[in-house]
Every structure is written in structure tokens, then in C-alpha cells.
């Protein structure tokens, strides 16, 4: 477009200015839509789909509590387990701690699933009908072989038994 703000001599100045303003508005709207699309792309790049928790699920809640004189990295920040009562909005859950009757509304970003570590190790499915542990027992090792492969002398306890 012509950067000259003076209208041509053969045109009405008000019509000429109105047309220029309309062209500028259209250009600005298209540029704003393009910038908005790009910003959404960059924002969504680091985001993930929020998990959903069914009623009755056990979860932990993040509470950034600080204590004077305590190291920040050693403080417990995840509390629970809480029980999911219901999903109040797409991003909020109503939770209850233990057997308490008091509930809290918590944002989904402050919630993570609770995994009970007292349960036995998970079982894998075997089509033959037998289940096996997912964790294999460690292979039996011979200390003398390990030391000789590493280029070390046999340990004193084994050396004492071979001298007899």
C-alpha cells in the first residue's frame, strides 16, 4: 500500500481514507488470527491431555507446603490417598481424604494417581493358564568368576578356603 497519507487529487478524501482504513483493518485481523494460531501451537506443544479419574479412584494431591529450617527438596509435597467423589468440571475434581466427610475441589494438574506399594508384584498373563511374576529372580552369580572377569584378585574369604 501507498504510505503517502495525502489523497490523490482526483478522489474524494473521505472515501479514500475510509477505503484505506478498511484495508488496514482487514490486514490487521488476518495478522492477528495468524499470530493467535501460532501462539496456540506453541502453547499446545508442551501440554498433554488431562487424565480422567473415575469416582472411587485413589489419588495423591500436590500441596506446596514450606517449613522453616527444612530443606525444600526433602519435604513431602504429595498427600493422600484421596478418594475421587466426582468430576465437577473438565479440569476439577471433588476429593475426600480417607473417611473424612470434608471434601476439597482440586485442579487436575495438582492430582496424580495413587499406586499402593503394599500390593504384591503385578502378574503377567500367560495363555497356558498359569500366571508368572513380571520380575524375574536375579541369576545366581559366582563371586570368584566376577572378580576374575574384572581383573581383580580373589577375595580374602575365598583365598582362605583354597589354601587348606
- Range name among 39-43, 88-92, 111-115, 148-152 with the lowest pLDDT average: 148-152
Nearest in space to 106 (alpha carbons), one of 46, 152, 61, 45: 61
The grid coordinates of residue 47 equal 501440554
Residue 5: its pLDDT value, please? 75
User: Above pLDDT 70, what percent of the chain?
Assistant: 71
Indicate whether 20 pLDDT > 70: yes
Residue 29: its pLDDT value, please? 98
- Higher-confidence residue of 102 and 143: namely 102
The domain ranges of the chain are 1-47, 58-113
Alpha-carbon span 114 to 95, nearest angstrom: 13
The grid coordinates of residue 121 equal 508384584
Cβ atoms of 107 and 87 within 8 Å: the answer is no
Residue 149: its pLDDT value, please? 57
What string of DSSP letters covers 8-40?
Answer: PTTS-HHHHHHHHHHHHHHHHHHHHHHHHHHHH
Cβ atoms of 35 and 84 within 8 Å: the answer is no
Residue 83 has a CB neighbour count (10 Å cut-off) of: 20
pLDDT digits (tens, 9 = 90+) for 52-102: 999 999 999 999 888 888 888 888 899 989 999 999 999 999 999 988 899
**0.75 exceeded by the pTM?**
no
Alpha-carbon span 86 to 51, nearest angstrom: 14
CATH topology of domain 58-113: SH3 type barrels. (2.30.30)
pLDDT tier at 164, thresholds 50, 70, 90: very low
Amino acid at each position: 500500500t501507498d504510505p503517502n497519507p495525502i489523497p490523490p487529487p482526483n478522489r474524494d478524501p473521505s472515501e479514500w481514507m475510509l477505503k484505506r482504513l478498511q484495508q488496514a483493518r482487514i490486514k490487521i485481523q488476518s495478522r492477528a488470527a495468524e499470530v493467535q494460531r501460532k501462539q496456540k501451537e506453541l502453547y499446545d506443544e508442551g501440554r498433554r491431555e488431562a487424565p480422567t479419574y473415575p469416582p472411587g479412584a485413589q489419588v495423591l494431591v500436590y500441596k506446596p507446603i514450606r517449613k522453616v529450617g527444612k530443606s525444600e527438596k526433602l519435604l513431602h509435597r504429595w498427600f493422600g490417598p484421596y478418594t475421587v467423589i466426582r468430576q465437577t468440571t473438565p479440569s476439577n475434581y471433588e476429593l475426600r481424604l480417607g473417611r473424612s466427610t470434608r471434601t476439597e475441589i482440586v485442579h487436575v494438574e495438582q492430582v496424580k494417581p495413587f499406586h499402593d506399594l503394599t500390593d504384591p508384584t503385578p502378574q503377567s498373563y500367560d495363555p497356558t493358564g498359569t500366571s508368572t511374576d513380571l520380575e524375574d529372580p536375579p541369576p545366581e552369580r559366582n563371586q570368584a568368576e566376577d572378580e576374575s572377569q574384572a581383573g581383580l584378585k580373589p577375595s580374602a574369604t575365598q583365598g582362605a578356603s583354597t589354601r587348606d
